[in-house]
Chains A and B, each alone.
Chain A
């Protein structure tokens, strides 16, 4: 099956810093979404981004489907950005379910 890797596994930042999270996947994908899991366990949908670039406030994401990776940028980080960021992909040509990466645990310190 498709493999999804995320890096780094853990990231500690000072408030106000910028960061880049990476997601690599091993096969063509039909769908890619980024999620933020907050400290209460809720999965918040950040971006639906199978290709191209999107921005939403301090967050932006880029997926280069031909090279099988996606990047999530967080600018001017805040303590509320803390949590785990998951990349999830839906494989192309069959299969409707998401395969999640292992996540990047982000801690933003005041």
Chain B
């Protein structure tokens, strides 16, 4: 099966710091997504991205979050000023023809 690659696998940061999570999507995929899973809870949608712009976002995706595709290949999620409650697993997904493929996730720990 094709792979979506996420880096880093684990990120530890201090509260108030900025973090950037990276995703390398499958090459011919056009749709990109970020999801979040707080420990022990279900996976929640954050944002979808198509044609270099946000197509949909959830209420979780506030002004502290941003996404971009800086070089046409990587897809990034930036959290501007992390809070303790941002600690979670963040999954990138890419899609084509309705199927979404998920990366292995980045575990973010905010101290």
Footprint of B on A, CB under 8 Å? 30-31, 33, 35, 40-43, 45, 48, 50, 86, 88, 90, 95-103
Contact = CB atoms under 8 A, between A and B. Distances in A.
A41 B31 CA distance: 23
Interface of B: 1, 31, 33, 35, 37, 42-45, 48, 50, 55-56, 58, 89, 91, 93, 95, 98-102, 104-105, 107
A88 B43 contact: yes
B91 A98 contact: no
Contacts of B1: 45
B33 A33 contact: no
A97 B31 CA distance: 10
A97 B33 contact: yes
Contact of A43 (B44, B56, B91): B91
Contact of A102 (B42, B100, B107): B42
A97 B42 contact: no
The 7 closest A-B pairs by CB, nearest first: A97-B45, A100-B43, A43-B102, A31-B98, A48-B99, A42-B104, A100-B42
Contacts of B91: 43
Given A35-B102, A45-B99, 4 more contacts: A33-B100, A42-B105, A50-B98, A96-B55
Contacts of A30: 98
